[in-house]
A and B are shown apart, each in its own frame.
Chain A
């Protein structure tokens, strides 16, 4: 049986899909609310890209300076938003965290949102991941990663450092 990317046997994945695209302030608020929920393993934010420079047309090379591309703080970790947040995927440990997560979203979002359970982030390494990270050793064919939770959070071709934020909880690394 292959190892799962999650720390527990049966993690639950939730997709939070707000009615509107979020301003950075609201995104910061909801991410912090979710971060405070006990049992959150990892979360992934998706949205439309906010480029630094115009990449197409006669204005190519001009600075965009989009007001949505700012630094936000989540769980004591600062990172720059590269997207306008349109969707948040959250993986939680068990059933008890789901209701808390929903309440956290209700507190943070001033409008309605979809709250769906499903399979949104990969749980097992794929061929591309093995291509990128390789096996642990000749005898151990598990993926050569210290923490498998980063699987599915970052595109295999993207740089991990600029796209991933590790938040340390009080009792454990999450």
Chain B
């Protein structure tokens, strides 16, 4: 019988959503065109060539190395793309993802990625064309709700604030906002204006967010209501404590 990863324990909706995020079994919610995505990432002009940091690997004449033969380079690495980043902030008010589960999603399902997990934001670094493929997946699927999350390269402040009156997360640089019921973004992730308004679709309702979130909250699904998850977390803590214990002679 083929091995089937279990990803995460638990029977509550956050546990199920955590499994979905980790396994990349995500529902597509909206379409974001390649050009729009490139514009909001802000690393290169839409339609321009990918700048490179080294020649394509095929032209470099790499030394003999068994590991290089076993591991196939990602398209970005093979082409010699620059390493670039994308960063997201997720509201604590039932945003679908959290930094940890964004990192799990990136590290489990994509190659050549360097996730950085922080309390209120999550950054992923990778080769530019790999980054665009990854970002497209993240931007279009249920892992990101643009009302409760934001692509923010800097000035990420907002994840722990109360939501704004219109139900969206505060953005100090006003990169994206609610206009006519849809979220539009007219600046790139670092707040530089772009030449277009990118429509990122309608934000999900409060009730829908409560269903789709990976967060345990006392006012939604409390963490302690999922005994299997509590047991799992306690086991992880016990094992890491034992592992970290170093008796001195």
How far, in Å, is B83 (CB) from chain A's closest CB?
15
Instruction: Choose among B153, B154, B165, B174 the residue that contacts A65 (Cβ–Cβ < 8 A).
Output: B174
Inter-chain CA distance A28–B190, complex, in Å, is 30
Q: Determine if A45 is an interface residue (Cβ-Cβ < 8 Å).
A: no
Inter-chain CA distance A38–B163, complex, in Å, is 31
B154 and A57 contact, CB distance less than 8 A: yes
Stretch at the interface among A48-56, A95-103, A126-134, A143-151: A48-56
B165 and A23 contact, CB distance less than 8 A: yes
How far, in Å, is B156 (CB) from chain A's closest CB?
10
Chain A interface residue number, banded: 20 to 34
Q: Determine if B166 is an interface residue (Cβ-Cβ < 8 Å).
A: yes
> Residue of A at shortest CB range from B158?
A48
Which residues of chain A are within 8 angstroms of B157 by Cβ–Cβ distance? 48
How far, in Å, is A168 (CB) from chain B's closest CB?
30
Q: Determine if A64 is an interface residue (Cβ-Cβ < 8 Å).
A: yes
In terms of DSSP, what is the predominant structure of the interface of chain A?
loop
Inter-chain CA distance A23–B168, complex, in Å, is 11
Which residues of chain B are within 8 angstroms of A86 by Cβ–Cβ distance? 161-162
Residue-wise interface mask of B (160-173) relative to A, using a CB-CB cutoff of 8 A (1 in contact, 0 not): 01111110001011
Inter-chain CA distance A142–B50, complex, in Å, is 68
Which residues of chain B are within 8 angstroms of A55 by Cβ–Cβ distance? 155
Instruction: Choose among B161, B165, B173 the residue that contacts A22 (Cβ–Cβ < 8 A).
Output: B165
How far, in Å, is B163 (CB) from chain A's closest CB?
6
> Residue of A at shortest CB range from B154?
A57
Residue-wise interface mask of B (133-166) relative to A, using a CB-CB cutoff of 8 A (1 in contact, 0 not): 0000000000000000000011101000111111
A20 and B173 contact, CB distance less than 8 A: no
Contact A64-B162, Cβ < 8 Å, known A54-B155, A57-B190, A59-B191: no
Contact A20-B164, Cβ < 8 Å, known A57-B191, A58-B192, A59-B190: yes
Which residues of chain A are within 8 angstroms of B153 by Cβ–Cβ distance? 57-58
How far, in Å, is B166 (CB) from chain A's closest CB?
7
A48 and B172 contact, CB distance less than 8 A: yes
How far, in Å, is A114 (CB) from chain B's closest CB?
11
> Residue of B at shortest CB range from A65?
B174
Inter-chain CA distance A22–B174, complex, in Å, is 15
How far, in Å, is A51 (CB) from chain B's closest CB?
7
Instruction: Choose among B154, B161, B164 the residue that contacts A59 (Cβ–Cβ < 8 A).
Output: B154
Further 8 A-B residue pairs, CB within 8 A, beyond A21-B163, A54-B155, A57-B190: A20-B162, A22-B165, A26-B165, A48-B161, A64-B174, A64-B191, A65-B174, A86-B162
List the 10 closest A-B pairs by CB distance, nearest first.
Answer: A57-B154, A59-B191, A59-B190, A59-B192, A54-B191, A66-B174, A23-B165, A57-B190, A20-B165, A21-B164
- 14 residue pairs from A and B, CB less than 8 Å apart: A20-B162, A20-B163, A20-B165, A48-B161, A50-B172, A54-B173, A57-B191, A59-B173, A59-B190, A59-B192, A62-B191, A64-B173, A67-B174, A67-B177
